[in-house]
Structure 1
């Protein structure tokens, strides 16, 4: 859900409680959409990029001191001033910091720094006559003017303050609140909602499809209760992580897909060459017939028609009329030899491209199934080592601490690799009696059941097979074939790419992926 007026309400209450009476030590504007007010003990950060928010920081972040016009004006007007209070207008995403400071003549004056955290978010400084001194974003329209000297008119809907009045919840439309907040309000009732809104915490939901934060929550939600600023900071930290994961995935997938397309084109061309083998028997037969009936041909003939001594059928053999019969015969056998050589060469060469494509599809699957940036960094290193990613500079290989996916079922431990590096390590380090699983003929993660010297029950194998299907290219399919065998039957051929192995003495089980795990991939 968006950061609505209910969440902003709690943030402003927190900031008001923590900062009232503090002195403004400095103002920073590291980028155009951010403003940091440093106080003697705390810091107030405004972020005006959608979704806009205000948050309280205990420590000042490392920001460059390269002031822009608006921050320079704020330094001139309110630096050294004391915060009188921080207020919200109703339950809207608009509020202000009231500041008491002396002007150039030494007179004590009141300033208000309005923050509009909605639509075209803005910061506006006004004087004690409510006239605009300056704004981060200047504008004018039919409703109001945000220019120096103009009277400040806020976008404000006081109906949003009515949640604290005695009203019938179902009769009141919560305009401007997020749809999710309104839905929760209607479920839990006005009294519970009012009590939750009045407390000083927010509810952080990490296990939703998208991490989120709210000022109210129904009882059946799994949440973490945090201070408003902690909740917002955690939310954006998680969103930043997810954005980085998505961005890195796209970057790596683009490289892999490009190489897949290139190798598929080469493979298809080789298959076309190999398909010419089908014509070889006919070519050889015509060559033999031409050799036997050469005496019937003469220069200028475009073809000769002879009888096949095996089938008794008439066979038409095309000739080059500009060449004599002997030269035509020589060219026929040269063409046969060339086709044989080309077919043999293509058969040998295509093996390399089939193996390369198996590896690339496996690599693509590991990227697609990655859930964290550490796994993607390991994949990036792998792609660099195998030559898929080029670097002009000498690259130092990073050592990333990253654990396997770990599950427990019926007191058996099950491990699933997150990428090809982990697949190799997992399989290599498993004991020979451990059970190794992999989707049949489909790219996916290596899965190991730790036998611990015991016989592994079929139910455990079935569960591990479902995990192998879940973390594979067949995760959205059903009735997936998964092969399993003891680790001692699995080996890595010399020169094989990361994650590629061969195995024998295996059994196959048909299973389905685990849907609730797929949602997190």
Structure 2
């Protein structure tokens, strides 16, 4: 993340043009760390300004997102309302090239007397804060994060304490540097350091991403070291510092948002990032870039939090089942002696006339073709006949145990296979809606208590119909892939026709895959591509070769009472394919 002084300069420029002269109509504090200021201007009407002092997401920008406010506003929000609501913004000023923005607001007190207040926003990672300061006395009226000297030796943020700016970093402003000063700064550094590290340490307003971009634009590798710099390299680097100073003076910012292949945010900057060529770039105002980046980042965190809570439930059940299966297997091993008990009982019964009461009996084993002698342990307090009956009793008990445990073991193993499939679907889910479908499935299977009432409206049910992933093979065939067990059932048992080709990884949890087959025959290339999709959307995504079964949809059926996604099939053939994310992207791009 690159909220550096350069980004703050771009924000200051945008807020100056958009807010100066505007009236503060409403102040809200939706979370412990965030403020929303609704500001009305003649030119642009109402605008929503978000200010965050969150340790991970500290920032300031216009926003279009809506926020849920607490029923009773926090104390800091009440203080701001008292001093700022109804006031007009006189100026927006960045302090040097630091990540500090100061709003000067003209307002009136309870008696109607005019006054001036400073709202100071410090975007500094875990030290971020938002403070309301009275400039006439330089005292803090309040801060969104209060702390005393017990937390910070440098300053206190408490009401009626003097305001101290964060300590200066003793860096050089690129707008005021001469070439000689620049060369002196570089050559006074450790020659073993990278040029980017020296820029970061000595040049104000630049973060790691901006430093790499400046070095790249100078025609050098981003990891270029100072020891390799000659006069030519120093001249090229100086030209980039000049460019940076001119950009800051004239405000020629180029806000850029970097996205990966899945449209997920990677980073942002106030300038174009030409050294990062393998990412999609989205441009716009600095607020558009920041709002888009943080909105997606927060959505991703919510997605991961939701995923984690569901995985906890599923993996707890998987652990419980594994323990249960282990106990069943031990019971089954003990019950395997059932036939031995029956044979002992029959041998004792057949030889009662020649066996004396005691601790053991030696009899000929007529079940053994060699007719060997078998020693049978007996209870000396019982007669031989009673010992035979005891062995028959043990035989019946072991036999009944074996039958019951075998059935219970099969059920537990089936449930474990089902939960493994749920675990795989959760791990690979990319969107909130996918996780909601899986949660709904877990509620239906009684692993979770329902949170949402059942949908009764027919139109709402239509909207909730599963939406499997859709791909287009290189030969033009539609390939559908289920994202979870409920989608697998819908895809295989309702959506697919009997002549479609059905694919699934062999004995491995994963997605059901359908090749729509209106022509009656599927080419080998399409079959291989569909099998590769089945391998990628399975638990064996990271394997080298994955077995994938395929058959006609008519040969797939669901046993009575089986859990979602569980089917049986026959007449299958097996392909061995390597999972390929690149192929997934290619087939998805074809569909788009």
Q: Do the aligned residues in 2 keep the contact of 1:404 with 1:417 (CA within 8 Å)?
A: yes
Q: Which of 148, 163, 169 is matched with 1:139 structurally?
A: 148
Q: Do the aligned residues in 1 keep the contact of 2:121 with 2:129 (CA within 8 Å)?
A: yes
Deviation of 1:201 (Å): 4.7
Give the whole-Å Cα distance in 2 for the aligned partners of 1:60 and 1:362: 36
* Partner residue, 2:393: 334
Deviation of 1:317 (Å): 1.2
* Partner residue, 1:406: 470
* Partner residue, 2:345: 287
* Partner residue, 1:506: 572
Deviation readout 1:266-303 (Å, 9 max, x if unpaired):
3333323333454344333322322232233334x111
* Partner residue, 2:270: 215
Q: Do the aligned residues in 2 keep the contact of 1:94 with 1:156 (CA within 8 Å)?
A: no
Change in Cα spacing, 1:130 to 1:12, as seen in structure 2 (3 Å) is farther
Is 1:427 equivalent to 2:492 in the alignment? Answer: yes
Change in Cα spacing, 1:312 to 1:214, as seen in structure 2 (3 Å) is same
Q: Do the aligned residues in 1 keep the contact of 2:344 with 2:376 (CA within 8 Å)?
A: yes
Q: Do the aligned residues in 1 keep the contact of 2:28 with 2:36 (CA within 8 Å)?
A: yes
Runs (5+) with no aligned partner, structure 2? 41-45, 187-194, 219-239, 586-592
Deviation of 1:123 (Å): 2.0
* Partner residue, 1:233: 291
Change in Cα spacing, 1:18 to 1:283, as seen in structure 2 (3 Å) is same
Deviation of 1:376 (Å): 1.1
Q: Do the aligned residues in 2 keep the contact of 1:303 with 1:318 (CA within 8 Å)?
A: yes
Q: Do the aligned residues in 2 keep the contact of 1:483 with 1:507 (CA within 8 Å)?
A: yes
- Between stretches 443-452 and 310-319, larger displacement belongs to 310-319
Give the whole-Å Cα distance in 1 for the aligned partners of 2:372 and 2:247: 95
**SS of 1:80's equivalent?**
coil
Runs (5+) with no aligned partner, structure 1? none
**SS of 1:306's equivalent?**
strand
Q: Do the aligned residues in 1 keep the contact of 2:131 with 2:142 (CA within 8 Å)?
A: yes
Deviation readout 1:97-141 (Å, 9 max, x if unpaired):
122334567665443221111132222233344612423125345
Q: Which of 120, 124, 148 is matched with 2:127 structurally?
A: 120
Is 1:304 equivalent to 2:366 in the alignment? Answer: no
Is 1:162 equivalent to 2:173 in the alignment? Answer: yes
Give the whole-Å Cα distance in 2 for the aligned partners of 1:446 and 1:233: 37
Q: TM-score, normalised by structure 2?
A: 0.79
Q: TM-score, normalised by structure 1?
A: 0.89
Is 1:364 equivalent to 2:390 in the alignment? Answer: no
Is 1:173 equivalent to 2:199 in the alignment? Answer: yes
Give the whole-Å Cα distance in 2 for the aligned partners of 1:268 and 1:151: 67
* Partner residue, 1:273: 331
Change in Cα spacing, 1:203 to 1:392, as seen in structure 2 (3 Å) is closer
Q: CA RMSD in A?
A: 3.0
Deviation of 1:473 (Å): 0.5
- Between stretches 376-385 and 465-474, larger displacement belongs to 376-385
Give aligned pairs, total: 518
- Between stretches 157-166 and 459-468, larger displacement belongs to 157-166
Give the whole-Å Cα distance in 2 for the aligned partners of 1:407 and 1:373: 21
* Partner residue, 1:204: 257
